[in-house]
Structure 1
């Protein structure tokens, strides 16, 4: 359990409890909570058909950018039942209990349940052509990630740590009552938890967690307003795909989306202690941003866009020796709109600085194309910018996984062609 020292803020205490998880952490978090619990107020039938329709329920910053929920947990699940038709009703009952207990988004909880190619591989039928869901694979010659094959992924996110932990405990069969709603069914016996990861999202949180990371502890490199480990803001409205853009349009899974999840370790010692701020700005955004002093602090002054459209092309910058991460990714757009909707977050699990890069897209091919642009292999081979190729030398992909996030009507143990 996290220490209950008076010197630990309630906010830090709750984040520590979420990272640990379990009934004891939930009890300690509830005991220390100074806020009222969110009240049950949701009619599941009134919710959008899209599981991933979160944006209208999220807070926004002063520039209108959506702000991700602070506490995040990822649960890897394996199907352990023996009657998929009957088990489907159990799963749906459990999920509807969560929806009745808490409103979606800022005032309660957001969650999605996605299924992997391994899950669908147990059926004789194939997925419809409208769904692009290949098995995960290496996406760069310099990476060697583990390729996840668990059946499903449950993503839980909330600004209320006790709500998130309560949902986790209820779904795993450890609670009989969830915020005043009786828990009649749970996932235990149907979907077994085989892995758990946690993380956080919000201004100042990386600086708060810095002392947990040995390579940068006591170095004070992270700005107090930085929302992510690498010190800069992301999630600008004009650099995010819309929920419409990432939604599958046709077939039985219309209204769903695909989800890619990467676990990425970060080399923060080199990023902060060897590189100057101008070098970091150049590699994250573009050299012009550094030369002209466009980025203040973590970049909140940029408003709702990175402003990469006002930079030289990635090819031009690469020919001069440095190309920015945002410059490269900006090359992959459709109708001037990005292909990915990012809902990633930072983590300090195990004392390591990492990003759980979670993106939604209409097809996994959209993610693959975006990652290829980020790799910038074409730029590197043409100009020899290997060590100045965006942020590549600071990130190490440890795991990859792909999932289909069905619409709510097919979210509970779907068949490949449910209609």
Structure 2
């Protein structure tokens, strides 16, 4: 999409499109369309911020049911290191990130972000990561996929309810903006990292946003008006998500860190909405019992703060499969540990490439945990046809990446053995 062909879009959808386009021109257009320019400022006291980079939940808004409401706009910026890590480079990275924290309040209305590092980044060092950090190279997790993998050095995840904030922050980090929210940019990342614009990923979350994308090929008019995700239902229920403590590494030099997996997927929405009734979509998304007992509602509003995957419904997974259909959430819930969900999801819709998709972003203590849940979610062990095996026949993985999200104190080019450095 270009800047010149947005005349048919709503204001909200136009702002989403500008985030996807990116760059200084998009930022300028975004600022001209933004009605409220009063963005809350950040802090000069780094000690006032949580020591974990991934500590977002206490600062984000919540919906009427108490679920964390993710920011509307998201950008994943892939980075390649231009020089070997050094104390000087670390100082520059930390200074650039501190500029963002001075400029923007750590909140939904301001900006939240993380900087994470791939296994490839750590491979340059002679030392290995400690045993307390599980960060393998990304790879295909099923026989059905042949994904590309994130083998660059790092990724920045920027998120805000304000489209102009994610664009301005990105431009400030890479030398294309002299001020961000009134704060001078004295140091940027351009001498340390190359921004890989071809690998930039963007997306959005919010009731009504998916339905505004029927102008995009592959997005049917049948997407429910109030659905926050393309496939028509709410997600991220508070009691069906791990909390931030559960996904945090507890011991070793990277205590306070977490691991992040990013799984980019294409979604066959037309087939989903044109071939499946609402009842069938409920069965395949949640469980047959959810449909029989009418637990869900039009877009999941009846579920309030839980997916209602009780032990009984989880235990029925194999029987439901043999009976002909099994639910996606029902399968995934088999990956719970001691009855608790081990993953914290922060995924978002996308129309990158002008096709509907999902960037599935998951935080967990170790990547092995994600793989175990993903295996349960895939359901290859179940006696059911592919077409009725949850939603797997509508999702196609194109890309995977594994990252370590260090604690805030180690976010600037960490060595694998920080206790020894």
Please, what TM-score do these two structures have when normalized by structure 2?
Answer: 0.95
**Closer, same or farther: CA 5–125 of 1 in aligned 2, 3 Å:** closer
Partners of 2:257 and 2:405 within 8 A in 1: yes
Write the distance in 1 (CA, Å) between the matches of 2:273 and 2:37.
Answer: 39
Q: Which residue of 2 aligns with 1:148?
A: 150
Structure 2 residue 418 is the aligned partner of structure 1 residue 418: yes
How far the C-alpha of 1:44 sits from its partner, in A, is 2.2
Matches for 1:231-310 after TM superposition, within 5 Å: 231-309=232-310
- Say if 2:6 and 2:14, in contact at 8 Å, map to a contact too: no
Q: What RMSD over aligned residues (CA atoms) do the two structures have, in Å?
A: 1.4
- For 1:95, the equivalent position in structure 2 comes to 97
Q: Hey, what's the Cα distance between the residues in 1 that align with 2:232 and 2:374?
A: 21
Contact 2:218 2:356 in 1 (8 A): no
Q: How does 1:4-403 map to 2 (within 5 A)?
A: 8-42=9-43, 43-82=45-84, 84-194=86-196, 195-212=199-216, 214-216=217-219, 219-309=220-310, 311=313, 313-379=316-382, 383-403=383-403
Q: Hey, what's the Cα distance between the residues in 1 that align with 2:183 and 2:5? A: 29
- Residue 86 of structure 1, CA deviation: 1.2
Q: Which secondary structure does the structure 2 equivalent of 1:377 belong to?
A: coil
Extract unaligned runs of 5+ from structure 2: none
Contact preservation (8 Å) 2:16, 2:73 = yes
- Cα offsets for 1:259-279 (capped at 9, x unmatched): 000101111121111111111
Query: Alpha-carbon deviation of 1:346?
Result: 0.3
Tell me, in whole angstroms, the C-alpha distance in 1 between the residues paired with 2:373 and 2:214. 30
CA contact (8 A) 1:69 1:106 kept: yes
Deviation of 1:4 (Å): 8.3
Partner of 1:55, secondary structure, is coil
1:391 positional shift: 0.7
Deviation at 1:290, TM superposition (A): 1.4
Which whole-Å CA distance do the structure 1 matches of 2:159 and 2:108 have between them? 9
Paired residue secondary structure (1:262): strand
Stretch of structure 1 that moved more, 92-101 or 302-311: 302-311
The question of whether the paired residues in 1 share the 8 Å contact of 2:85 and 2:413 is answered with no
Residues 6 and 132 of structure 1: is their aligned pair in 2 closer, same or farther, counting only changes over 3 Å?
A: closer
Change in CA separation of 1:88 and 1:215 when aligned onto 2, cut-off 3 Å: same
Secondary structure at the residue paired with 1:315? helix
8 Å contact from structure 1 (residues 4, 13) kept in 2:
no
Deviation at 1:191, TM superposition (A): 1.0
Q: How many residues align?
A: 413
Separation (CA, whole Å) in 1 of partners of 2:325 and 2:356 = 25
Contact 1:238 1:337 in 2 (8 A): no
Which has the higher mean CA deviation after the structures are superposed, 82-91 or 325-334? 82-91
Deviation sequence 1:221-255 (CA, Å, 0-9, x none): 11000000100111001111000000000011100
Secondary structure of the structure 1 residue equivalent to 2:334: coil
